[in-house]
Structure 1
Amino acid sequence: MTHAFISRLHYPVSALGPGQRVGLWFQGCSIGCPGCISMDTWKPGLGAALMEEILGQLSAMAHEADGLTVSGGEPFDQPDALAVILAHWRAIAGTTTLVFTGRELSEVESWLSDHPDLIDAVITGRFRSELPQTLALRGSDNQRIHALTAAGAEMLSYDRPATAADRRLDVTFDEQGHAWLAGIPARGELARLRRVLAAAGHQTVTSDMVGANS
């Protein structure tokens, strides 16, 4: 495994699990849930990065971080890269790993059996825009939190109704001045943000508007 396709790698992220975490988003998603707010991460083949560089960045961030959260895109579309990255995290950090996937637990059980103890907790299930969104750390209420290790049991503290604090977002600007948001916004929040910025004279394009092939 020499490389992986990565959308972004950032520290700190405070809106996707407990504490100040490293956030890693895989690029490419074969599921493509209608209404997804991260359609910019769907297209495969973008963001190629040498595995050596990815692991080096993780090592530089690990000593300050409270854990690693992996999302996408769909992490299990790159199962070998996911295994390498999580095994490296286990080797360098004594903190928890949380993985978001659009697949059901039954669909990833084989990978979990082949790579025991690399993931402490996993949030499973496709985003379904027609269902309510009332639960913490989830875009729709069909999604489930599964604790896979004793350490992962702390993630079950999120198995509850969402509060206003759970809907906060981390905002980061890249070198080109583009802003991206980490977190799980309430329904309609991105549209409201666009309206607020438009009222202030700004033109805003978000990934849920431009689609997966942009």
Structure 2
Amino acid sequence: MSAKLNLSRVHFPVTALGPGRRLGIWFQGCSIRCEGCISADTWGPGRHSTTVAQLLEYAEPWLEEASGITISGGEPFDQPDALIELLTELTRHPDLDILIYSGYSIEQLTPSLKRTHGLIDALISDPFDQQKPQSMVLRGSDNQRLTLLTVLGRERFMAFERPLQPEDKTLDLMLDEDGTVWMAGIPRRDDLTRLRDLLREQGHQLQISADTAAHTSHGAPTT
């Protein structure tokens, strides 16, 4: 029986979270809940309960086109059974590299990484800290670490162990079927707040994930 999975969203292509055209998978639910997180909408339990098998069936056409996979959230390691099953099934696509974002430290993840040995190519770990600078590519704060775990990971991600360059400051803009607009990538500090304020000044009604952080910190579902 396939493991249950609380899922936030899936999107292809994602170009701002690793090399190439990537399949992005966002887990729903996070026990870490870093202050200032731009993905506070993924903290709570959400409404998209599925299974790993259903996710893979849905994403199969994109897996044939993708150059890699980025898994984020939420916190992927808060759903270890689903994560391990997903990673194991993805080994059927050996040419796809897998990058995972986690708010846990690499030291905390040591037992989990033993269970996923060889299944994760690159890992960005440690909690987002809005008091720290943001000068490294693919990271929201400079305390976060990029760990290359396989030969494929070193081949494709070694070039990302460097300071941000102007060409790195890109975001993918997506539109869900329900009209929700969202972004994938690593925005600069307060980018989303400035965008919200600008659009509100022009008469638009909207909220960003930071607006719901107070509610999701108490476990309320997000909208």
TM-score interval, normalised by the smaller of the two chains: over 0.9
Task: List, as ranges, runs of 4+ consecutive aligned residues in structure 1 with deviation greater than 3 Å.
Answer: none
1:39-70: CA deviations, max 9, x gaps? 01001364201322101123221110010000
**1:157 to partner: Cα distance:** 1.1
Which residue of the partner structure matches residue 170 of structure 2? 168
- Trace 1:174-185 onto structure 2 (pairs within 5 A): 174-185=176-187
- The range that moved more, 9-18 or 193-202, is 193-202
Aligned pairs for 1:85-124 (under 5 A) are 85-124=86-125
> What code does the residue aligned with 1:73 have?
G
Per-residue deviation, 1:167: 2.2
Residue 179 of structure 2 aligns to which amino acid in structure 1?
Answer: G
Tell me how far 1:165 sits from its aligned partner. Answer: 2.5
Report SS of the residue matched to 1:118.
Answer: coil
The amino acid across from 2:200 in the alignment is: A
Matched residue count: 214
Question: Which of 195, 198, 214 is equivalent to 2:197?
Answer: 195
Contact 1:145 1:156 in 2 (8 A): no
Matched, 1:5 2:40: no
Measured after TM superposition, the shift of residue 163 of structure 1 is 2.0
Q: Report the secondary structure of 1:18's partner residue.
A: coil
* Equivalent position SS for 2:158: helix
Q: Give the secondary-structure state (helix, strand or coil) at the position aligned to 1:83.
A: helix
Q: Which runs of 5+ in 2 are unaligned?
A: none
The one-letter code of the counterpart of 2:55 is I
Counterparts of 1:114 and 1:37 in 2: how far apart (Å)? Answer: 29
Counterpart of 1:145 in 2: which secondary structure? strand
Cα distance in 1, alignment partners of residues 52 and 102 from structure 2: 21
Question: Deviations for 1:170-208, whole angstroms, at most 9, x for unmatched residues?
Answer: 111111111011011000111121132223321220011
State the identity as a percent.
43
What is the match of residue 151 of structure 2? 150
Residue 209 of structure 1 is aligned with which of 204, 207, 211?
211
State the one-letter code of the partner of 1:100.
Y
TM-score (norm 2): 0.92
Per-residue deviation, 1:93: 4.4
Q: TM-score, normalised by structure 1?
A: 0.95
- The residue type equivalent to 1:87 in the other structure is T
**Cα distance between partner residues in 2 of 1:56 and 1:194:** 36
Tell whether the 8 Å contact from 2:3 to 2:85 is kept in structure 1 after alignment. no
Deviations 1:26-47 (A, max 9, x none): 0000001011010010013642
- Provide the residue aligned with 1:16 in structure 2: 17
Structure 1 distance, partners of 2:134, 2:116, is 31
CA distance in structure 1 between the aligned counterparts of 2:203 and 2:100, rounded to whole angstroms:
38
- Within 5 Å, give how 1:67-78 maps onto structure 2: 67-78=68-79
Residue matched to 2:34: 33
Contact 1:168 1:183 in 2 (8 A): yes
Q: Is the 8 A contact 2:3 2:81 kept in 1?
A: no
- Tell me the distance in 2 between the aligned counterparts of 1:13 and 1:203: 27
SS of 1:86's equivalent in the other structure is helix
